[in-house]
Amino acid sequence: MTIAETVRRRPGRPRDEDLDAQILDATLQLIDDGEPVTLGRVVERSGVSRAALYRRWPSLTTLVAAALDIGRTIPPELPDDGDLRAAILASLTGGHSVTLAGYPEERFRQRIRLAMTDRTLQKAYWDSHVSRRRAGVERALQRAIHRGELRADLDPAICFDLLAGVFYYQLVVRGDRLTDPAVMQRCAEAFDIAWRGMVAQDGTAT
């Protein structure tokens, strides 16, 4: 998602999109440069006043959360026909994964560092961005539960945590790259172990 697309997608009254883009771009530059993101630095680098900034974002935290999401997209809704397992795996490893969709790996790692040191930012980023990107997969899982393809006692949100967590562990804990075929093979095998535990036995819900 580009800065301009991020600006256009935000709800609310019409705004000066040029100023919005200037503020987001300045914030993202600070993040990518590994510099502290402060109100003063954003104002100085963007050339936009503090009053104009606060008219657009209620806090520095919400601004940083919006900037961190630039370059990410909302995955399309997963179809009910076809192989759901393959569709979810493709969503996690293909065009909508963090590091395989044009979202710089260093920005991803900086995002993790910022979130881990600021729980308020972590919560804001979850509420405004992360929860929306995973919603489509959760809905697809819920529909599969209703069809009896997956176990009736499953919680779609927990299932998503389990499946996606395999990939995040490689990046965050092991320090590996998802572009490494061996890493992807390990992820696929772990994904399949989890998926087998989710499937309803004999095609009926348990």
Q: Can you spell out the DSSP letters for 48-79?
A: --HHHHHHH-SSHHHHHHHHHTTT--PPPPPP
Residue 75 inside a domain? The answer is no
Asked whether residue 73 is domain-assigned, the answer is no
Residue 146 falls within a domain, yes or no? yes
- Shared domain check, 177 and 152: yes
Binned at pLDDT 50, 70 and 90, residue 102 comes out as low
**Is 190 a domain residue?**
yes
Report the distance separating Cα 127 and Cα 109, nearest Å. 19
In a domain, residue 58? The reply is yes
User: What is the rounded CA–CA span in Å between residue 138 and residue 204?
Assistant: 20
Contact 141, 81 (CB under 8 A): no
The structure tokens 């172990």 sit at: 193
The reply to whether 95 and 159 lie within a common domain is: yes
Do 64 and 8 fall within a single domain?
Answer: yes
Percent of the chain with pLDDT over 70: 85
Residue 174 is classified by DSSP as: I
pLDDT confidence band for 103 (50 / 70 / 90)? low
Write the CB contacts of 20 (distance below 8 Å, at least 6 apart in sequence).
7, 10, 56
Question: Looking at residues 11-18, what average pLDDT do you find?
Answer: 56
Q: pTM for the complete prediction? A: 0.74
Q: Does 199 map to a domain? A: yes
Q: What pLDDT shows up at residue 85?
A: 95
Q: Domain total for the chain?
A: 2
Q: How confident is the model at residue 83 (pLDDT cuts 50, 70, 90)?
A: very high
Q: Report pLDDT digits (tens) over 128-178.
A: 888 988 999 999 999 999 999 999 999 999 999 999 999 989 988 898 988
Which of 1-5, 108-112, 123-127, 147-151 shows the highest mean pLDDT?
147-151
Q: What is the mean pLDDT of residues 57-80?
A: 85
Name the residue range of residue 106's domain: 84-203
Residue 76 lies in a domain: no
Mean pLDDT value across residues 20-34: 90
pLDDT band at 70, cuts 50/70/90? confident
- Residue 13's pLDDT is what? 41
Determine contact, residues 28/3, Cβ cutoff 8 Å. yes
Give me the percent of the chain exceeding a pLDDT of 90. 42
43 in the same domain as 145: no
Q: Could you tell me the pLDDT band of residue 4, with boundaries at 50, 70 and 90? A: very low
Same-domain pairing of 97 and 54: no
The whole-angstrom separation of Cα 186 and Cα 166 is 9
Among 101-105, 172-176, 201-205, the minimum mean pLDDT is found in 201-205
Per-residue CA distances from 36 to 4, 5, 156 (Å): 24, 25, 37
CA 173, CA 38: separation in Å to the nearest integer? 28
Q: Is residue 74 part of a domain?
A: no
Contact 4, 67 (CB under 8 A): no
Q: Which range is least confidently modeled, 53-57, 110-114, 137-141, 161-165?
A: 110-114
**Residue 205 pLDDT > 50:** no
The rounded radius of gyration (Å) of the Cα atoms in the chain is: 19
